[in-house]
Amino acid sequence: MRANLSAFVTGLALVAAVSAARADDAEILQKPEPAGVLDIAKGFGSARIDRDNNGDPMISGRVEGVKYVIYFYGCEDHENCKSLQFSTGYTDPLTADQANAWNAKYRWVKAYSGDGSNFKMDVSFAGGITKANLEEQFSNWNAMATNIKNFLSGE
């Protein structure tokens, strides 16, 4: 009986720990707050906040030696934005064949042929997302940075 009680108490402690961890992440983010996005970005490398040509927030950063920009989309008067787009580009444009080869191999970050930003990843806040989910998006981007460098160097 004592062993069963001990196992039961241990089980309750584990449930309480998991519930507490989930409660910390229970806040649903309905929109990307620039300061909060910047804080997460700084956890992955250098980052600073600025404004794009339309006056909307924009974050410029670097992960794994790859420069990137996060654009805020669907903004109302440069606030209350609805989505983000991670973007990085290179001076040498990608061909359609290169973009197709990348897109056939990788799921989250998409490549585009032509000039300008060649690699992009969208993050929608429609319906809300947790902070942990947003951090996971940064983790995905961070992991893909090395793949982008290797792909462009032909490795």
Question: pLDDT (tens digit, 9 = 90+) per residue, 114-129?
Answer: 876 699 999 999 999 9
- What is the domain range of residue 69? 27-152
What is the residue-wise DSSP string for 32-79?
--HHHHHHHHHTTSEEEEEE-TTS-EEEEEEETTEEEEEEEES-BTTB
pTM for the model stands at 0.80
Q: Report yes or no on 6 lying in a domain.
A: no
Q: Indicate which CATH number applies to the domain containing 73.
A: 3.30.1460.10
pLDDT tens figures, 36-51: 999 999 999 999 999 9
Tokens of 136: 């996971």
Q: Quick one: tokens of 54?
A: 């339309």
Q: Is residue 33 part of a domain?
A: yes
Main-chain dihedrals φ then ψ at residue 108, nearest 5 degrees: -85, -40
**56 domain residue, yes or no:** yes
